[in-house]
Amino acid sequence: MMIAPHFARRMSIAHVARALLTVLIFVFVVLGVGGVHTADAQQEDIEDRAVTPLSTDSPRDVLRSFLLLRDEMEAGLLAYTTDPTRAGAQRLALLSDQMVALFDLDLVPRVARREVGIETATYLMDIFGRIDPPALDTVPDNTALDDESISYFRILGTPLRIMQMTDGDREGEFLFSGRTVQAAPRFLRSLRDIPLRSPLEIESYSAFSPQLTGPLIPASVLQGVPASLKTLWFGTPAWKVLTMGVLTIVSMVVLAKLYRAVSAGPRDRRMWFLFLRALVPLAMLFAVLWALPYIMHQINVSGGFSNFAEKTLSISAHVAFAWLFWIVVRMMMEWVILSPRIPDESLDANLLRLVSGVIGIIGAAIILAFGGQAIGLPIVSVLAGLGIGGLAVALALRPTLENLVGGVMLYIDRPVRVGDFCCFEGQTGTVEGIGIRSTRLRALDRTLITVPNAQFADMQIINFTSRDQILIDETVGLRYETTPDQLRTLLTRIRTLFIEHPDVDSKTVRVRFSGYGDSALEVNFRIYVMTTDWETFVAIREEMFLSILDIVSDCGTEFAFSSQTLYLSRDKWAREAGLQDGRQAEPTLVDSGEARTFPRTK
């Protein structure tokens, strides 16, 4: 048995969507449970090996904590390069996080703080590996702080400063200042000629650290990488940049394929269609929150490329969350519409869909605003500035804002879409684009019509593209010489023609003798052709008109023409009147039952 193509496509999409959802749920559960157990086991292994506790009560405590963490980091790196294990990688990550906690990173975007802190830690390790750090007894401690007010300490001969935080979550603690974070790489460049003292026998921690990889990357892979691909691009070896680029492109292609697959789903079932659409942002979240970050961690990207990658992933995650929020709000509203008291195409249902669209857009905008704030954009400041000058700007840009809102309403309500053929205010055209300010339509004479969105949204628009069938409503005239039997046969044959035609909705066929015209017997036929393509409709209509022409000829009658018949006669009373007065009477013109005589003079 053959399955209809549309049904087969719908079934394939459903199977793909269900399989993908099952895989996603399985992966999330397995990785979540496995990750918890793995993390617990690794944490127990790490806790067995003592890690230096942090102390930020004074400049001396900060410097002592950093130097101790540096020694432990050097020992951990030496052990990891000899035997790269997952526990060793976890210990290095923990030591890195403790080092990051010693820096003031308030001026750094949130998503880049860890990477910037690790880079600054490697710079300080390079600096103190080339010059001797100050003796701890010369650095102020709690006793000195009690005796005099000390808010910062500068290491002599360097731009490195340890300052007391005056606000924020870490108020009162001493940390390496934000100026130190900015000045450390510049100061390190001035010390390049001084050799590094390190048990690792390397030239620089800042150059050695980017070459490290996670425990899942085999050593044979690193040995097979050409030296030219180990050069740093944006602070990361070239081969890592290329690998992440390829993986990102593959992820984008997979998401695009998934989007095209779910977009071809059945739109008449709104809940199912929205559910399929939700798989795309879910897959996107899976990629940007787990898959790509996990690969980045194993490859160990660093430097400016790491900052760029982290910001890109953060933006993608917020976009996916905003997209998913918009779809979920629409799904919730469609679930409400499924109530038996709300017809699917009623005004209440459309109003609920409009409300869900507005809520979805507002929520998505808020999520994107938080995303912009996370990567360092001054969203809060911008919003505050808009709050102050927003009224004046709104008054000045009122027409533009009206058109903007009108465009949003056109996108939400969708009376027309790009490519639709419609009629409005006595004009017809094809929609070519709905912009921020105006809607552009191409008329039948190929001229371009531009209508402001605010006006277009208020117009009565007839969308011909959205119809599911096309109407044929025609009346033909037959000669009055047509007999009743001929007329009955003709009506029966035309009805049979329409009912048996595969492209005509047989339930809508209506063929009737509709009345007596001025010069013809009128026959009206009204049918719906089951197509939405205009060219196909024109071809079907032509075929049926030609068939009707054959039927009229076969039935022995003809189409009527608009005509008027003149009847000439000589009435008896007129002839008698002409003989009595001795004059010859003029022929009489009879029109509509009324006759007049025009006398002729002898």
With helix as H, strand as E and coil as C, how does 263-286 read?
A: HCCCCCCHHHHHHHHHHHHHHHHH
**Does residue 87 contact residue 42 with C-beta atoms inside 8 Å?**
yes
Model pLDDT, residue 15: 45
Ranges 307-311, 509-513, 580-584: which has the least confidence:
580-584
Mean pLDDT of 576-588: 52
> What residue segments make up the domains of the chain, in order of their start?
1-43, 49-217, 240-396, 399-463, 470-554, 567-596
CA distance 390 to 382: 11
Q: 344 versus 496: which is more confidently predicted?
A: 496
CB atoms within 10 A of CB 85: 13
Model pLDDT, residue 152: 79
CA distance 252 to 263: 16
Place of tokens 């906690």: 101
Residue 148 has phi, psi (to 5 degrees) of: -145, 160
Model pLDDT, residue 396: 60
Ranges 43-52, 98-107, 333-342, 449-458: which has the least confidence:
43-52
Question: With the C-alpha atoms ordered 30, 32, 38, 40, is the resulting torsion angle positive or negative?
Answer: negative
CA distance 31 to 22: 14
Residues 365-393: tens digit of each pLDDT: 888 877 777 777 666 665 655 555 555 55
Instruction: Give the rounded percent of residues in the chain with a pLDDT score beyond 70.
Output: 75
Residues with Cβ within 8 Å of residue 390, at least 6 apart in sequence: none
Residues with Cβ within 8 Å of residue 254, at least 6 apart in sequence: 283
Token code pair at residue 439: 């809607």
Model pLDDT, residue 333: 77
Model pLDDT, residue 307: 79
Q: 585 versus 200: which is more confidently predicted?
A: 200
Instruction: Give the rounded percent of residues in the chain with a pLDDT score beyond 90.
Output: 14
Report the SS3 class of residue 568: strand
Q: Given pLDDT bands bounded at 50, 70 and 90, which one contains residue 528?
A: very high
Residue 110 has pLDDT above 90, yes or no: no
Q: Which fold has domain 399-463?
A: SH3 type barrels. (2.30.30)
**Does residue 456 contact residue 434 with C-beta atoms inside 8 Å?**
no
Q: Given pLDDT bands bounded at 50, 70 and 90, which one contains residue 340?
A: low
Residues 539-567: tens digit of each pLDDT: 999 999 999 999 999 998 988 887 666 66
**Does residue 295 contact residue 244 with C-beta atoms inside 8 Å?**
yes
Max mean pLDDT range (115-129, 225-239, 318-332, 586-600): 115-129
Model pLDDT, residue 10: 40
Q: Given pLDDT bands bounded at 50, 70 and 90, which one contains residue 496?
A: very high
Model pLDDT, residue 232: 80
CA distance 101 to 95: 10
Residue 30 has pLDDT above 50, yes or no: no
Residues with Cβ within 8 Å of residue 414, at least 6 apart in sequence: none
Residues 265-275: tens digit of each pLDDT: 666 677 777 88
Angle at 405 between CA 399 and CA 409, to 5 degrees: 140
Mean pLDDT of 258-286: 79
**Does residue 51 contact residue 313 with C-beta atoms inside 8 Å?**
no
Residue 534 has phi, psi (to 5 degrees) of: -65, -40
Buried b (16+ CB within 10 A) or exposed e, 328-341: bbbbebbeebeeee
Model pLDDT, residue 51: 58
CATH number listed for the domain at residues 470-554? 3.30.70.100
Distances (CA, A) of 72 to 77, 91, 95, 131, 213: 9, 10, 8, 19, 19
Domains 399-463 and 470-554 share a fold: no
Ranges 38-52, 218-232, 504-518: which has the least confidence:
38-52
Mean pLDDT of 195-204: 85
CB atoms within 10 A of CB 193: 6
Q: At what angle do helices 238-263 and 292-299 cross, to 10 degrees?
A: 170
Burial of 472 from C-beta contacts in 10 A (0-12 / 13-18 / 19+) = middle
